Each structure stands twice: as C-alpha cells, then as structure tokens.
Amino acid sequence: MDRRAFLGNTLAAAGGALVGGRVLRAAGGTQRESAVRAQVPGAIGQSEIEAARFPDGFLWGTATAAFQVEGAWQEDGKGESIWDRFTHTPGKVRGATNADVACDQYHLYAQDMALAKKINQKSYRFSISWPRIQPTGTGAPNMKGVDHYSKIVDEMLKNGLRPFCTIYHWDLPQALEDKGGWPNRDLAGYYADYAGILAKHLGDRITIWAPFNMPWSVAYMGYGVGALAPGRADFDDFLKALHTLTLAQGQALRSIKATSSKATVGSAYGMCPAYPKTDSDEDHAAASRYHAMNNVFLLEAAMHGRYPKAFVGDAPYDKMGMKPGDEEIMHAPLDWVGFHYYTRRHVSDASKVQAFSGGGFSGTEIEADPATGRDPYTRFRAEMPTEGPLTESGLEVWPRGIYDLVMQISKEYNNPIIEITESGCGYLDAPYEKENGRVPDTRRIAWFQQELAELARAIKDGAKVRSFHAWSLIDNFEWGNGHTERYGLIYVDYRDQKRTIKDSGLWYGRVAATNRLT
C-alpha cells in the first residue's frame, strides 16, 4: 500500500480528519460536518491552528476578476475581449458555458460589496476590464465604463473595503490581439496609456494598484501553449509576450505614479514554491531556474532592471526582442510585492534532453510539463506532487508551501511588504436543504485553517505580510473550466444569481473579526 492509500484508510477508520496525527474538528457545524476530509502529511496540527494569531490591522480580503464575475459583456459600449472570443469558440470551455452573464456583478455590485462587509472584509481586490474603458484598446476613454468603476469603488469605500485594483486580469481588447497581441511590443505603450486613464479617473480613491494578474501565465498559457485566451501556441511568441509584459509593467508604474500622487504599485504574480525533485545538484539548479522563470522573472526586472538566471546557456534575449535601453524601462521598483499561493511544484533537470514539446494546462496554475521537459532554454520539468490530498479542482493541498514561499521572497527581496493577492481551493459544496440551505463546506475551512496557520508562522518569523485575499468572494466563471469549479466563500446559484454565504464565508468573517483561526 502506498502512503496515500494508507493515509486514506486511516482516515476512513477514524471517521474524521487526522491532521498531524490529531483529529481536526471543524469550526462550528454538527458532528457529521466535523468529519473534515482534509489530510495533509506533515501538516501542522490543531493546537497550532488554535494558537495562530494575526497582527492588529491585518487586512483580510477577497479577490475577483472582471471577466469572471461581471457579465454584461456587451453593455455600455464595452468592446470585445479575447476572453469573449475564446469562450464563444466551441470546444474551448468545459461544459460549454460562457461568461456573458457570469455572476452579473456588473449590476449586482452593491449587493456583493454589502456581503463582503457582512463577513468583515477590509480589502477587495478587483480588476478593471480594459475593453470597457477603451473598447478597441486605444484612444479616448468610454466614460460609461469609467463611471461604472467609479461607482463600484465608491461602494467599496462605503462598505469599509480598501479598493485594490488589478489593472489587467487577462481580458485584452480583441482589437489589440488583432494587432498581434502581447508579442507585439507596441502593446506596452497602449497599456501604459490605459493605466494612466485609470489613475486619472480613479487615483483619488484607489491607492493600491497591481499592473498584471499572473503575467507569466498571460504569456505562457496564452501564447506559448494556447491553454488560455487567445489560445496561441508558439514558444517564440511566448518569449516576446513575456518581454512586452515586463516593459509594460515598468511603463505603467511610471504612468500611474505621474498621474496619481497617492498611488502605490506592486504586483499580483502567480507563484509556486519549487522543491527539487531529488537532492541532486542538477535538480537544485533546475528548481532555481523554475523559481527564476515562473515566480520572479518580472519581479527581478522591476526591482533590479535585469532578468534573473532562468536559462541554461545563453539567454534568448534576441528572441525576446530585447533592445538596448530596455533594462531602464523594465526597472521600476515596486512599493510592495504581491503574489498568489495555491500549490507547489517538484522540479527536475531536463538539461540533457534534446527534444522539447511544451507543457499543457490541466487546470488553474498547472503546467504539466512533458517528461522531456518544457523547452530548450529553461530545461526543467515541473510537476505537481500528489503526496497531499487533491482539492476537487485537482490541486495538491500543501499548506507548508505558503510559509516557504513567503520566507523565500522575504529573504531574496530584502523583506518587502507582502500582499497575498490570491489563495484558495475549489470544492463543489452546494446548499443543503436538510440544513436550511446552509453550505457546509468543511473542506474549505480546513484548507484555509491550515494554510493560514502557516502564514501566521511566517509573520511570526519576521515576514512583513500585511494582507491576505481569499480567492474568491463568490463562486465565478473559472476560465477554460467554466462553471465546473467553485472557489467562492459565497455560493452563487447561476439560475437566479442567488448568493448564499457558505460556512467557510461565515468562518472567514470570524477570522477577520478576531485575527484568529478558530
């Protein structure tokens, strides 16, 4: 029997969850619901969860993205985005749904901000849809779009939420894709103009801006392997897109700061702590290349005006379209560092392999690199281990990862202020009629308890983490996985848009009120 099967049997025998050798009681709920199924080898136990404390003033928040929640895809002059085009193309989305209506937050935002307040939230990370502001990606702003975001920002402030704006969460105006998309260097300038428009109209109220959500994924998943919109698959386009995004990040930071004196600019990078698969020097070096390429490529560029060592042999800077003077454009030190945590990677060396075939995308943040390794430059293979249990969205549960990642970034970047921009888990729990329609999502509570205990430990050990944004406030449209995944603290019935706060949402509200996890 392997380790997972053994632990599974032990769990069944105990009739509840064993975490770190102890039975984990669910916070609240009946005896039956306290049979939490999360089980993590080596996880910290119930006493650590009970002892964990967060500092006064810690900013508890949630995150969403425009395309995933807004709907209203053709309203008030909005242009078409690459995600509208992608989701309207047969075969691209699981379950054959689209985000034309999504959670209808375009109309229901007041209700959603009130719900955030109800669960004691202090920060709301949202994104702005570029084609609402500039329907074709350039030129004068569409004031109906600007007014919409002005109203939603006011609503946040009214409900005591800090408006945290992500300028770009994947919905590029289709007209700019028609001009070549992110591999076209001109997009850096267009994007900086768009960022400047936002700073001009909203910068009196928004003080915290993240230029891009997961820029590495925008380039790799969108242009390298085609798993996300616009669905192109060409490794050279990936390299070019990555460089345009880095230039855009630097130009946008300057454009925002030139327009709004209150602005602070950081990031919303997707990161996974990378562990060498074996203790060999080669695998250690491969894990460093993974970290350089997937986690800190744009961070290093912003902080130091250079790219980190992500490549074996000569870096393909010519293929990326790098020009003399680009280092200065890239160099734009961030005021704080924001990143997401979902799961971890095992990384092994593929430097001796001759043939490379590019990775796939089997769900959020997963790149299942082929056995041969990802590409001829980085020459590593990254896998998601399955030592811990999997969520229903298929990601390994590994709470310790957030501690390791936060400590690593703190060490490498001189103990910066850190914002956890996203973190969460996909489970499909739905309202249970025998419990008056409650949503007893005990696995999500267990997931957050364990992860947050690890985050509290990182803070205790000196990391300057000032916020945590759970993904997500509400269930929403999960990109290529459509409506087949649910990450919300609040359940959404897509038939009538009814919202129901899940048990995890009620629990998270208590966490936000008390800075403790039980």
Q: Which residues lie near ligand FCB (CB under 6 A)? A: 65, 68, 213-214, 270, 364-365, 422, 471, 478-479, 487
Nearer to ligand FCB among residue 65 and residue 465 (C-beta): 65
Nearer to ligand FCB among residue 487 and residue 507 (C-beta): 487
User: In this chain, which residue has its C-beta nearest to ligand FCB?
Assistant: 364
Q: How many CA atoms lie within 13 A of 246 on its CB side?
A: 32
Instruction: Determine the Cα–Cα distance for residues 390 and 362; give it in Å rounded to an integer.
Output: 14
Task: Please check whether residue 336 is in contact with residue 264, taking contact to mean a CB–CB distance below 8 angstroms.
Answer: yes
Nearer to ligand FCB among residue 203 and residue 480 (C-beta): 480
Nearer to ligand FCB among residue 48 and residue 485 (C-beta): 485
What's the min distance (Å) between Cβ of 434 and ligand FCB? 30
What's the min distance (Å) between Cβ of 268 and ligand FCB? 8
Residue with tokens 């390994």: 396
Task: Please check whether residue 470 is in contact with residue 479, taking contact to mean a CB–CB distance below 8 angstroms.
Answer: no
Nearer to ligand FCB among residue 237 and residue 365 (C-beta): 365
Nearer to ligand FCB among residue 471 and residue 491 (C-beta): 471
**What DSSP assignment string belongs to 305-324?**
SS----SSSS--HHHHT--T
Q: How many CA atoms lie within 13 A of 222 on its CB side?
A: 27
What is the amino acid identity at position 329? I
Query: How many residues are given for the chain?
Result: 518
Token pair for 368: 């299942």
What's the min distance (Å) between Cβ of 31 and ligand FCB? 31
Instruction: Determine the Cα–Cα distance for residues 376 and 366; give it in Å rounded to an integer.
Output: 20
Nearer to ligand FCB among residue 65 and residue 187 (C-beta): 65
Nearer to ligand FCB among residue 212 and residue 311 (C-beta): 212
Q: Which residues pair with 208 in a beta bridge?
A: 164, 264
Token pair for 201: 């109209």
Nearer to ligand FCB among residue 350 and residue 418 (C-beta): 418
Nearer to ligand FCB among residue 210 and residue 239 (C-beta): 210
Instruction: Determine the Cα–Cα distance for residues 231 and 237; give it in Å rounded to an integer.
Output: 12
Nearer to ligand FCB among residue 213 and residue 378 (C-beta): 213
What's the min distance (Å) between Cβ of 498 and ligand FCB? 22
CB burial of residue 304 (10 Å; 0-12, 13-18, 19+): middle
What's the min distance (Å) between Cβ of 359 and ligand FCB? 15
What's the min distance (Å) between Cβ of 476 and ligand FCB? 8
What's the min distance (Å) between Cβ of 423 and ligand FCB? 9
Closest residue by Cα to residue 367 from 392, 389, 342, 387? 342
Task: Please check whether residue 241 is in contact with residue 295, taking contact to mean a CB–CB distance below 8 angstroms.
Answer: no
Nearer to ligand FCB among residue 68 and residue 267 (C-beta): 68
Measured from the Cβ of residue 433, the count of other Cβ atoms closer than 10 Å reads: 8
What is the amino acid identity at position 420? I
Closest residue by Cα to residue 419 from 510, 305, 296, 336? 336
How many Å from the N-terminal Cα to the C-terminal Cα in the chain? 35
Taken in order 245, 246, 251, 257, is the CA torsion positive or negative? positive
What's the min distance (Å) between Cβ of 217 and ligand FCB? 7
What's the min distance (Å) between Cβ of 347 and ligand FCB? 19
Q: How many CA atoms lie within 13 A of 260 on its CB side?
A: 22
Token pair for 489: 């603290």
What's the min distance (Å) between Cβ of 340 and ligand FCB? 6
What's the min distance (Å) between Cβ of 487 and ligand FCB? 5
Instruction: Determine the Cα–Cα distance for residues 471 and 478; give it in Å rounded to an integer.
Output: 11
Instruction: Determine the Cα–Cα distance for residues 94 and 483; give it in Å rounded to an integer.
Output: 8
What's the min distance (Å) between Cβ of 361 and ligand FCB? 11
Distances (CA, A) of 35 to 27, 76, 173, 202, 391: 11, 48, 47, 47, 16
